[in-house]
Structure 1
Amino acid sequence: MNAPSDRERPLRVRWAQAAERRLTPRSWFQGVFRQWPLLLVLAVIAVGIGIVADDHFRRGTFIIAGGVCLAAFLRAVLPNGRAGLLNVRSRFLDILTLGFLGGGTLIASLIVPPPS
């Protein structure tokens, strides 16, 4: 008996077979590496959170704000295909939102009085 052709199989079976063929460790690492802009931003923010946890609120918040501003900068200069998960909506809206959040956090980190 002949095996059923691709058109005769249900769509979800074809998708599952395609996913099994494509997911290899190499392709997984390539997919993660393609997200380098987001990983870089998250690393900067993680460093800032670590500094805040080490009881340096102003410095850590300043670094966190720098990470968000870095995300806005990367979204502005990278093409849509290279921006990875920083590409959420339109370029203008992404830059506006990230710039507003980064700038607001930066101002808040500068306004907070030093500990007494």
Structure 2
Amino acid sequence: MISTASSHAAADGAPDGPLVSRFSIALVSSVLVGMSLGDPLPEPLELLSGSAGAIGLLFYGYRSRVIRIERARQADATKTLVERRLDTFIAEPPLLPTPHTVREWSPSSSGSYSVQRISR
């Protein structure tokens, strides 16, 4: 089945992914290199298919490296974000009182509670 732009179109009309996968490029490039090494093609077509296959394999290697670097960069960014969130979470004071904190009524002018620590 051949992918078309209409089957990959997002809501805004832009494609959401590549039309041809990297693996497909590597597969077709390998076939072209194999055809150039075999006997069934005339001399000019052997040169063209061999160079097209070599360019395709080089592109496959280049894109694989770029994607690997991008994924490592995203992993580092995610790790940094998680560490920052954890640091923020740890730095915030607890929302609940500690077990050794007791709230007592103090006859102040505002009529509020006062917090006193009980040492054990």
Q: Does TM, normalized by the shorter one, top 0.5?
A: no
TM-score range, shorter chain: 0.3 to 0.5
Larger strand proportion of the pair: 2
Decide which structure has greater helix share: 1
**RCO (CA 8 Å, sep 6+): is it higher in 1 or 2?**
1
Greater gyration radius: 2
